[in-house]
Amino acid sequence: MKKVAFVTGAGQGIGKAIALRLANDGFAVAVADYNAETAHAVADEINHAHGKGSAIAVTVDVADRERVFAAVEEARTKLQGFDVIVNNAGVAPSTPIESITEAVVDKVYNINVKGVIWGIQAAVNAFKAEKHGGKIINACSQAGHVGNPELAVYSSSKFAVRGLTQTAARDLAPLGITVNGYCPGIVKTPMWAEIDRQVSEAAGKQPGYGTEQFAKRITLGRLSEPEDVAACVSYLAGPDSDYMTGQSLLIDGGMVFN
Ligand SMILES: NC(=O)c1ccc[n+]([C@@H]2O[C@H](COP(=O)([O-])OP(=O)(O)OC[C@H]3O[C@@H](n4cnc5c(N)ncnc54)[C@H](O)[C@@H]3O)[C@@H](O)[C@H]2O)c1
């Protein structure tokens, strides 16, 4: 019987790469996204490559606690088990300090912070129903280690994810559950293309300017592919990370050194 992984925001970008990687690692995967179309496309791709029943698409808004619980339960029932949740969905609008509104704070925190809390709770529920422990993996960021310019709301939401990861690790260890995070740098996804557009526009420059500025801080001299991040998540989802908990691993090409 395959182990089961539930990945949020798996319709595109990093989440998609994680879903494909975990399927390659032998997991049955619930491809969860609020975009039903992209979620189905990724699930179809996995089923095509690994055989029918290797993936299902689940439509969910991670900010909606009840829906998150229902989606996790749907995955547990349909895929017959529950072993790993990857709370990957997130949003990252550019928010220079003086432009910050209540609406943008609510939106970002509802998805990036509350979405992770609901995912943690729903996963604990599912692990208990399966009568075993499991692995909770949260999307953090290098911006969750160091404040990033123009990204106060996003950066603070990712600091919160790192704090949640540490606290949940301590709270859930007695249940045999580990909780870790991954902290990408600058990854070539639709999210980054939008940040680049906004940062470049704010500076009065052409698209690409934001990327150039950020890339100067990457020791390895290149932007990240989504697959670089998926490899880190593969480690966190597999048995080699059994003795690790409460960590938010930097997988950023050497942007931040702690
Ligand atoms: N791209 C980067 O450079 C980068 C860097 C560091 C951290 N991250 C983090 O990695 C994660 C994935 O980022 P990405 O670049 O792949 O983003 P992306 O915008 O390319 O994809 C995000 C996916 O999440 C889905 N999503 C958004 N809000 C949702 C919600 N409320 N409920 C369910 N699904 C939702 C979207 O439909 C989309 O499929 C995010 O948490 C992000 O903060 C990204």
Note the pLDDT tens digit of each residue in 121-136. Answer: 999 999 999 999 999 9
Span 218-257, pLDDT tens digits: 999 889 999 999 999 999 999 999 999 999 999 999 999 9
- H-type alpha helices, 80-151: 102-108, 115-130
Ligand 1 center from residue 39 Cα (angstroms): 13
For residues 36 and 40, what is the distance between their CA atoms, to the nearest angstrom? 6
Please give the domain boundaries of the chain with CATH numbers for all domains.
4-185+226-245 (3.40.50.720)
Span 17-33, pLDDT tens digits: 999 999 999 999 999 99
209 a catalytic residue: no
Whether residue 38 has its Cβ less than 6 Å from ligand 1:
yes
Neighbours of 183 (CB within 10 A): 26
Whether residue 89 has its Cβ less than 6 Å from ligand 1:
yes
12 annotated as a binding-site residue: yes
Q: pLDDT value at position 171?
A: 98
Q: What are phi and psi of 193, to 5 degrees?
A: -55, -40
For the entire predicted model, the pTM comes to 0.96
14 annotated as a binding-site residue: yes
Beta carbons of 110 and 62 less than 8 angstroms apart: no
Ligand 1 center from residue 59 Cα (angstroms): 15
Question: What is the three-class DSSP state of 1?
Answer: coil
Whether residue 191 has its Cβ less than 6 Å from ligand 1:
yes
Structure tokens at 28: 């049955």
